[in-house]
């Protein structure tokens, strides 16, 4: 019940923000090239501001950030989520110093707030090799949509791509380097460009889709009409 009341107070006070923090938040977001990072940092900073405004007469310093870390731990958030929030707060402190309303000493103190230690092992439903194979095999090999879905699952599992990366993949990004298939010029977080190797079995699934669909340029994966005969070029 106490935890629910805390969550309720954060939600109700979300609009009672402090102008300086909002300005610093904008400055932080402007330094981030990745839209994924901007979305995560904006959420983390907005949550801090909501909590900060719900507490009376607090100064933005190390002790407040320590208290906020304890508050996040009470919410039973994952270690990765809490540490991401703290990373956003450190960036907020730096931009607040650049803005001239937070002293460098206070910013240094905030940056020294340690994150939560990772204990144990990752949790979740991780596919075994056989389960991953069953998932790939589940895609139909008799209709066009099945060939497409099998190729997409193959790249998700074999290359570790995000869904948006698979959907936006262009045919000219599939190349051969020193006898190995790779995906080039993938733009990830922080606008970093990377090259991803493609295992042979995933490449065979992609080749099968291209052969059956007749796709020869542009995006690799297309919307398939409900009838299942021809891809719709977007």
pLDDT tens across 30-52, in order? 998 888 889 999 999 999 988 98
Question: What is the pTM for the complete model shown?
Answer: 0.52
Residue 139, pLDDT > 80, answer yes
Residue 196 neighbours by CB distance under 10 Å: 17
Are the CB atoms for 27 and 41 separated by under 8 Å? no
pLDDT band at residue 140 under the 50/70/90 scheme: confident
CATH of domain 129-232: 1.10.443.10
Position 108 scores a pLDDT of 92
Question: Average model confidence (pLDDT) for the chain?
Answer: 82
Domain with CATH 1.10.150 in the chain: 2-111
DSSP code string of the chain: -HHHHHHHHHHHTTT---HHHHHHHHHHHHT---HHHHHHHHHHHHHHHHHHHHSTT--SSHHHHHHHHHHHHHTT--HHHHHHHHHHHHHHHHHHHHHTSS-HHHHHHHHT---PPP-S---S-PPPHHHHHHHHHTS-SSSHHHHHHHHHHHHHHHH---HHHHHT-BGGGEEEETTEEEEEEEE-GGG-EEEEE--HHHHHHHHHHHHHH---SSBS--EEPTTSSSEE--
Domain with CATH 1.10.443.10 in the chain: 129-232
Position 2 scores a pLDDT of 38
Query: CA-CA distance, 32 to 34, in Å (whole number)?
Result: 6
Phi, psi of 52 (to 5 degrees): -60, -40
More confident residue, 41 or 2: 41
Residue 100, pLDDT > 60, answer yes
pLDDT band at residue 226 under the 50/70/90 scheme: low
What would the mean pLDDT of 147-157 be, rounded to a whole number? 92
More confident residue, 167 or 191: 167
Residue 232, pLDDT > 80, answer no
CATH of domain 2-111: 1.10.150
What would the mean pLDDT of 133-137 be, rounded to a whole number? 86
């Amino acid at each position: 019940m106490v935890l629910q009341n805390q969550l309720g107070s954060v939600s109700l006070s979300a609009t009672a923000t402090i102008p300086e923090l909002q300005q610093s938040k904008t400055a932080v977001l402007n330094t981030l090239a990745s839209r994924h990072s901007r979305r995560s940092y904006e959420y983390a900073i907005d949550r801090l501001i909501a909590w900060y405004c719900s507490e009376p007469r607090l100064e933005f310093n190390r002790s407040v950030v320590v208290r906020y870390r304890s508050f996040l731990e009470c919410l039973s958030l994952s270690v990765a989520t809490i540490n991401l929030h703290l990373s956003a707060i450190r960036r907020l402190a730096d931009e607040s110093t650049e803005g001239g309303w937070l002293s460098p000493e206070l910013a240094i103190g905030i940056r020294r707030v340690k994150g939560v230690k990772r204990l144990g092992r990752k949790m979740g439903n991780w596919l075994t090799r056989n389960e991953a194979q069953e998932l790939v095999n589940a895609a139909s090999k008799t209709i066009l949509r099945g060939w497409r879905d099998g190729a997409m699952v193959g790249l998700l599992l074999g290359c570790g791509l995000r869904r948006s990366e698979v959907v936006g993949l262009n045919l000219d990004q599939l190349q051969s380097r020193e006898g190995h298939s790779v995906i080039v010029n993938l733009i990830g977080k922080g606008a970093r460009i990377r090259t991803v190797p493609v295992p042979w079995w995933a490449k065979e699934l992609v080749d099968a889709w291209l052969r059956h669909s007749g796709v020869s340029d542009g995006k690799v994966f297309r919307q398939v009409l409900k009838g299942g005969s021809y891809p719709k070029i977007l």
